[in-house]
Structure 1
């Protein structure tokens, strides 16, 4: 294990994080919003709420694990932009999108974005003990619980306008449906609340986290197929038959992280985590080259190898190994990392990771830095593996 740990640690500090550090915007704050496929930086690219939150989380967590001072300085820089520009001090919460100068461009408030704000601010608080950061995290938590939660159906809502009037969920719906409820948003609320609980454990947070795990068990996890359902109407009716392989294996370890954080011993939940991991690990989604396919809609397989899917799968299978001691999961980890190193990692001068590799083996010619692609998934994979292999 120590060879793998050393390799991953080296990759984090010499390849991933230096790429993103170079994007620090000294003039307008935050980080440049877009790096094109040809690795040219668009200094006038828009800056996303999810994006700056992921930068803040990544550099805060990197400092927590490695204690390298330069990461803490990057985290301070990200924090200033998040609370100074991305946070709406008039109507509260984080905007969806700003222009490159930091002026609001798309003022929707999405629960998904708010959850990343909590995730980032709580991580920053863990390493700085900055009480203001914890206050912002708690403010956003209270917004989600008071405005973004549907008590009748025990579900987290999705999209709102700037003043918190509910909107159709355009931002997080795909595949031709508009979903009132998404697994993705619930997963990232869970992840955010878990981190806030680690930063500042309260009885209320424990209760909300336990409720979220129960939602996954009762509403999202399909006990027959062992896959997670993806899109729902207001009453939790599934809207379309999708298997999102990356989200499933990511959910497996994030749910387990929540279970461990609050100290739950409910066997149903632990078995769900293990069942999801075996289901993906034994499925046709694991391809001959060791990679994990993206998704399946009805009978149609999408064989694109997406960067974040590989990163989350490595952590998910590592976690499953820790739960079961089944060597099968270590074999999957080795296969995924071998594939990722060779194909997903961008070996061009100044590159980071490609967005994805197409079914034909060629990199997708898509921006390698933009509001959805940040250091979060692959830096987190590195940090999780470093911590788990210690």
Structure 2
């Protein structure tokens, strides 16, 4: 590695170990299990706040990955703590699948089942097995995989459905729709099912998982990716028609490296169309969404551009651009990672003692009033950015 990269890797590792992990570790709920569900902008912990199913899975993934990477027993303890809460409280043992939300004590609060939530269950349980070799976690990951394929897949199109009630009756997709539309299918769910199945395939290289991954790659290439604009569509109807002129810059750059990760586990990294998609998406985001200060803006709907700098968008962009650098050797991607890391340290990272990353800042670097921890704000995006770059640069 060059000295630049050694320094960058060292800074990222130090930040992960001294800023990100301690913050989330401090939210461990020793009384009721899991991790506290809400920390407001003033860094006040709301101990009675609900605990999200997605957040629980992401906490499990983050601490399991931390144990796998560091070998430090404290992170195994935290991962086991999250695992127990997920299996004892977030899993619906009667009707299968994971709840959307439980209360602070772990009692069901919103029993909706979303394919997105189940995918994060697969992702987290597979990583937990990868780190600990706890076979019960792998068996539960297989069970959730089977439920997604059985309940969530419309094999005729093909497409993965979105939202269900507790009894697996399909419902309008209110949970993962935004911008004034209700989508039948979303890019977001499909890239995260892909992400989950990629990690599952690493630990359980079963032909069923391989077939599902290949199906998902086909869906993303044929239905979601616009080969003319190089953007991914976001929200679709039941005929796979885009229902809004929306470009989500963070999801696009995230998708580029998640797709590449799937290609690697399948041994398809030289697939001509899919490889071109990975690099074309990265170059497109590089040229359209990076601001003069090095940050990545949020999205564009029609002609309206949202220049908000959101925490997870910056994290995923650093992984996506570094992945593109590895694939192409184009030094501009490495330069963008370095600039974005400097921007993140200066504006996104909360400098207060006991803080973590702000949800978002405006174009002047002013933080918004979003929560610091909540159902969507978890240790997953920025922990994973740190781990990915530490391992890729290693």
Task: Give the TM-score band, short-chain normalised.
Answer: over 0.9
Unaligned stretches of 5+ residues in structure 1: none
Instruction: Indicate yes or no: 2:291 matched with 1:281.
Output: no
Deviation at 1:326, TM superposition (A): 0.2
CA distance in 2, matches of 1:366, 1:226: 31
Instruction: Indicate yes or no: 2:288 matched with 1:268.
Output: no
Deviation at 1:366, TM superposition (A): 1.1
Deviation at 1:359, TM superposition (A): 2.9
CA distance in 2, matches of 1:50, 1:125: 18
Aligned to 1:81: 85
Q: TM-score, normalised by structure 2?
A: 0.98
The number of aligned residues is 389
1:276-309 Cα offsets, whole Å, 9 max, x none, are 00000111x1101100000000000001000000
Deviation at 1:335, TM superposition (A): 1.1
CA distance in 2, matches of 1:359, 1:333: 19
1:143-163 Cα offsets, whole Å, 9 max, x none, are 000110001210000000000
Deviation at 1:123, TM superposition (A): 0.2
Deviation at 1:128, TM superposition (A): 1.2
CA distance in 2, matches of 1:136, 1:203: 18
Deviation at 1:331, TM superposition (A): 1.0
1:91-126 Cα offsets, whole Å, 9 max, x none, are 000000001011100000000000000000000000
Q: 1:99-114 alignment to 2 at 5 Å? A: 99-114=103-118
Instruction: Indicate yes or no: 2:219 matched with 1:193.
Output: no
Aligned to 1:325: 329
Aligned to 1:350: 354
Aligned to 2:372: 368
Q: 1:38-187 alignment to 2 at 5 Å? A: 38-187=42-191
1:310-359 Cα offsets, whole Å, 9 max, x none, are 00000000000000000010111011101000000000111000000023
Q: 1:210-249 alignment to 2 at 5 Å? A: 210-249=214-253
Q: TM-score, normalised by structure 1?
A: 0.99
CA distance in 2, matches of 1:199, 1:156: 23
CA distance in 2, matches of 1:338, 1:165: 47
Unaligned stretches of 5+ residues in structure 2: none
CA distance in 2, matches of 1:23, 1:202: 36
CA distance in 1, matches of 2:135, 2:73: 20
Deviation at 1:268, TM superposition (A): 0.4
Q: Residue 357 of structure 2: SS of its match in structure 1? A: coil
CA distance in 2, matches of 1:83, 1:239: 37
Aligned to 1:301: 305
Instruction: Indicate yes or no: 2:12 matched with 1:8.
Output: yes
Q: Which moved more, 1:67-76 or 1:112-121?
A: 67-76
Aligned to 1:314: 318
CA distance in 1, matches of 2:382, 2:222: 30
Deviation at 1:211, TM superposition (A): 1.0
CA distance in 1, matches of 2:59, 2:259: 23
CA distance in 2, matches of 1:23, 1:154: 40
The runs of at least 4 aligned residues of structure 1 exceeding 6 Å deviation read none
Q: Residue 247 of structure 2: SS of its match in structure 1? A: strand
2:207 maps to which of 203, 209, 216:
203
Deviation at 1:68, TM superposition (A): 1.6
CA distance in 2, matches of 1:89, 1:319: 39
CA distance in 1, matches of 2:15, 2:271: 37
Aligned to 1:336: 340
RMSD, matched Cα: 0.6
